[in-house]
Amino acid sequence: MQRGDKPAFKPFNPLDKRNLGESVADALLHTTVQALPPEPFIGAGVYAIYYMGSFSAYRQLAEVNQDGQFYCPIYVGKAVPPGSRKGGLGLEVEHGQTLYKRLAEHAESVNAARNLDIADFFCHFLVVDDIWIPLAESMLIERFKPVWNRVLDGFGNHDPGKGRHRGMMPQWDCLHPGRAWAQRLQPCANTAEQLAERVEQYLRELFKLI
């Protein structure tokens, strides 16, 4: 820039998709934190799950979430209306308890794990207009880089069904064994010790950046 030149500032566009996504993400983080699962409710939307327990690989994560801070989620996800899964927008579709049921499924996974305690898990959730749900989820994952989204795959997986158990066990189930359907899959490519080390290294690097 030459002396005397005025700096150029990009005009703020409230309708830019990033700004829209971040506004939904901010609204989620201002909701009241609930135990996992929360009480039943109606609607679809986005959520963030937090961990505050003693599992050693998540020590750093639990520390930053103490004292009501809930600084960094362990997992972020979405629950879309049925029409969205078929390629539609989900407009004018009855949502029912779509978001609540997804959180309840996650609670079942945690309860099944032999080395996790459901009492250590909490969540933010937000009922959102259908069209903004995927965008808000993407913004939350980009902002927080949750370890169960980025490093330890499989927490949100479902039973692949009868006759489809030739696939490999998800990494999440290798580190947190207990879901009956996962035990019928082929062994994970990594050991639990290797995955725990990977998680710890990831969190060390993550909290250097935040």
The residue with greater pLDDT, 22 or 184, is 184
Position 180 pLDDT exceeds 60: yes
% residues pLDDT > 90 (the chain):
63
Q: How many domains does the chain have?
A: 1
pLDDT in tens, 45-100: 999 999 999 999 999 999 999 988 899 999 999 999 876 544 444 455 566 899 99
In a domain, 58, yes or no: yes
% residues pLDDT > 70 (the chain):
81
Q: Token pair of 2, please? A: 């030459």
User: In terms of DSSP H, where are the helices of 65-158?
Assistant: 82-85, 98-112, 133-144, 147-150
In a domain, 111, yes or no: yes
* 3 state DSSP class of 76: strand
In a domain, 60, yes or no: yes
In a domain, 175, yes or no: no
pLDDT for 119: 97
In a domain, 43, yes or no: yes
Q: In this structure, are residues 28 and 124 in contact, taking their beta carbons and an 8 Å threshold?
A: yes
pLDDT for 13: 52
Q: Token pair of 180, please? A: 């009956």
In a domain, 131, yes or no: yes
Q: What is the side-by-side strand order in the sheet with 34-35?
A: 34-35, 121-127, 45-51, 75-79
Model pTM score:
0.86
Position 201 pLDDT exceeds 80: yes
> Which of 20-24, 81-85, 114-118 has the weakest average pLDDT?
81-85
Tell me which range, 16-20, 118-122, 184-188, is most confidently predicted by mean pLDDT: 118-122
In a domain, 148, yes or no: yes
Question: Cβ-count burial of 5 within 10 angstroms (0-12 exposed, 13-18 middle, 19+ buried)?
Answer: exposed
Q: Token pair of 28, please? A: 């989620």
pLDDT in tens, 117-132: 999 999 999 998 888 8
Q: Token pair of 12, please? A: 């703020």
In a domain, 5, yes or no: no
What are the distances in angstroms from CA 180 to CA 147, 155, 184? 23, 14, 7
* 3 state DSSP class of 6: coil
Position 26 pLDDT exceeds 70: yes
User: What are residue 125's phi and psi, to 5 degrees?
Assistant: -145, 155
- How many other C-beta atoms lie within 10 A of the C-beta of residue 127? 18
> Which residues span the domain enclosing 26?
20-86+93-156
